Structure 1
Amino acid sequence: MAKQFGAMILMALWGSCGYAARSGLPASTVPDCIGVNIHFTGTEREQVDMIADAGFRFVRMDFHWASIEKKKGGYDFKPYDELVDSLATRGIRALFILDYGNPLYDDNLAPHTDEGRAAFARFAAAGAAHFKGKGVLWELWNEPNGGFWRPQANVEDYVKWAAAVYRALKKADPECTVLAPALAGWDMAFLDSAFKQGLLKATDVVSLHPYGSAKPEDAAILYAGTRELIAKYAKKGTNYPIVSGEWGYSSWENGVSLETQADFIARQFLSNMASGVRLSIWYDWRDDGLDPNENEHHFGTVYNDLKPKPAYTAVKTLTTELDGYSFASRISGDSPEDYLLLFRKGDSYRLAAWTVGEPHSLSLPIDVEQVEIVSRSGERTKADIKNGRIELKLTNSPQYVEPIGTSTRWAMEAAWNVEAGTVLTDSGLQVKVKSVVNGDLVPNATVSVSGAGVERASVKFNTQASAVSPDARPEHTF
Structure 2
Amino acid sequence: LANPPVNSWGGNENKIMEVPLALHGAGFDFQREPTQGHFFFSHLVFEPQATTANTTTLIDFAKQQPTINLHRAAELKHNYAYTNVGADAETALTLSWEKTPAKHYEFFVNQRIPLPTFTSAVFRVNAFFPENNDVSLLNLRLRDQDGEILQYRVPLAAADSGWQEIVFPMNTSIINKSSWGGHSTNHRLDFPAGFHGFAGDFRNREATGWMAIGKVSVEVLTDFRPLIPTLETGNPIHVLVPGEEDKLGLRINNHKPHSVKARISYTIRNGRDVEIAAAEQNMAITSGTDFLLPLPAPKEQGPYYVDVVYQEDDPRVEPLKVNYSFAAMQPAGPTVGRGKGFLFGVCSHPQRHPREQQELEAMAAAWCGAKIVREDISWSRMQPAADRWNFDSFDFTVDAFAKYDIELAPIYSYCAPWAVAEDWQPLKPELKRGARPDYQHWAAFIRGFAERYRGKVHYVEVWNEPDLHGFANFSAEEYIELMKIAYRETKKAAPEMTVMTAGFTCMPPYARLNDEKHMEKTLTLGRGFYDIHAFHGHGPYVHYRNQIERMLPFRDKLGVTAPWYANETAITSVHIGEYRQAVTLFQKFLYSWARGSIGYNWYDLRNDGYDPKESEHNFGLVTKDFHPKAAYVTYNALANVYREAGYIRDMALLHQLEGFLFKSREGDFLLANWNLDSQKPSRLIVLTDISGRASHIDLFGNERQLNVVNQAVVINIDREPSTIRISGQTA
Residue 209 in 1 paired to residue 522 in 2? no
Q: What is the CA distance between 1:407 and its match in structure 2?
A: 4.3
Residue 140 in 1 paired to residue 467 in 2? no
Deviations 1:76-98 (A, max 9, x none): 11111111122222121111011
How many residues are treated as equivalent by the alignment? 369
Question: Partner residue of 1:71?
Answer: 385
Deviations 1:29-86 (A, max 9, x none): 4xxx110001113572222111111011110000111111112132211111111122
Q: Distance in 2 between matches of 1:100 and 1:119?
A: 12
Residue 28 in 1 paired to residue 341 in 2? yes
Q: Distance in 1 between matches of 2:385 and 2:589?
A: 41
Structure 1 residues 219 and 360: CA distance shift in structure 2, 3 A: same
Find the partner of 1:307 among 606, 627, 646: 627
Structure 1 residues 369 and 130: CA distance shift in structure 2, 3 A: closer
Secondary structure, aligned partner of 1:128: helix
8 A Cα contact 1:266 1:314, kept in partner:
yes
Question: Partner residue of 2:413?
Answer: 99
One-letter identity of the residue aligned with 1:126: G
Question: Partner residue of 2:486?
Answer: 165
User: Residues 326-405 of structure 1: matches in 2 within 5 Å?
Assistant: 326-335=646-655, 337-345=657-665, 347-357=667-677, 358-368=681-691, 370-405=693-728
Question: Partner residue of 1:183?
Answer: 504
8 A Cα contact 2:450 2:493, kept in partner:
yes
Question: Partner residue of 2:228?
Answer: none
Structure 1 residues 369 and 277: CA distance shift in structure 2, 3 A: closer
8 A Cα contact 1:63 1:97, kept in partner:
yes
Query: TM-score, normalising length from structure 1?
Result: 0.72
8 A Cα contact 1:352 1:399, kept in partner:
yes
Q: What is the CA distance between 1:229 and its match in structure 2?
A: 4.5
Secondary structure, aligned partner of 1:48: helix
Deviations 1:152-172 (A, max 9, x none): 341111111211222111111
Q: What is the CA distance between 1:211 and its match in structure 2?
A: 2.4
Q: Distance in 2 between matches of 1:70 and 1:251?
A: 36
Structure richer in strand, relative to its length: 2
Q: Distance in 1 between matches of 2:600 and 2:419?
A: 33
8 A Cα contact 2:540 2:584, kept in partner:
no
Secondary structure, aligned partner of 1:339: strand
Q: What is the CA distance between 1:350 and its match in structure 2?
A: 2.1
Secondary structure, aligned partner of 1:290: coil
Deviations 1:256-289 (A, max 9, x none): 2211110111111111111110021110111111
Q: Distance in 2 between matches of 1:86 and 1:56?
A: 14
Secondary structure, aligned partner of 2:520: helix
One-letter identity of the residue aligned with 1:395: D
Q: Distance in 2 between matches of 1:195 and 1:49?
A: 36
Secondary structure, aligned partner of 2:507: coil
Secondary structure, aligned partner of 2:674: strand
Percent identical residues:
22
Question: Partner residue of 2:581?
Answer: 261
Structure 1 residues 148 and 199: CA distance shift in structure 2, 3 A: farther
8 A Cα contact 1:179 1:204, kept in partner:
yes
Q: Distance in 2 between matches of 1:167 and 1:365?
A: 54
Question: Partner residue of 1:155?
Answer: 476
Moved over 6 A (4+): none
One-letter identity of the residue aligned with 2:441: A
Q: What is the CA distance between 1:378 and its match in structure 2?
A: 2.0
Structure 1 residues 172 and 278: CA distance shift in structure 2, 3 A: same
Question: Partner residue of 1:454?
Answer: none
Q: Distance in 2 between matches of 1:40 and 1:347?
A: 37
One-letter identity of the residue aligned with 1:220: I
Structure richer in helix, relative to its length: 1
Structure 1 unaligned runs (5+)? 1-24, 409-478
One-letter identity of the residue aligned with 2:350: F
Structure 1 residues 399 and 112: CA distance shift in structure 2, 3 A: closer
Q: Relative contact order (alpha carbons < 8 A, sep ≥ 6): 1 or 2 greater?
A: 1
Bigger radius of gyration: 2
Q: What is the CA distance between 1:406 and its match in structure 2?
A: 2.2
Q: What is the CA distance between 1:303 and its match in structure 2?
A: 1.1
One-letter identity of the residue aligned with 1:168: E
Secondary structure, aligned partner of 1:143: coil
Q: What is the CA distance between 1:27 and its match in structure 2?
A: 4.3
Q: What is the CA distance between 1:369 and its match in structure 2?
A: 5.6
One-letter identity of the residue aligned with 1:191: M
Q: Distance in 2 between matches of 1:171 and 1:340?
A: 41
Q: Distance in 2 between matches of 1:46 and 1:80?
A: 16
User: Residues 218-229 of structure 1: matches in 2 within 5 Å?
Assistant: 218-229=546-557
Secondary structure, aligned partner of 1:60: strand
Secondary structure, aligned partner of 2:649: strand
Q: Distance in 2 between matches of 1:135 and 1:242?
A: 19
Question: Partner residue of 1:21?
Answer: none
Q: What is the CA distance between 1:110 and its match in structure 2?
A: 4.7
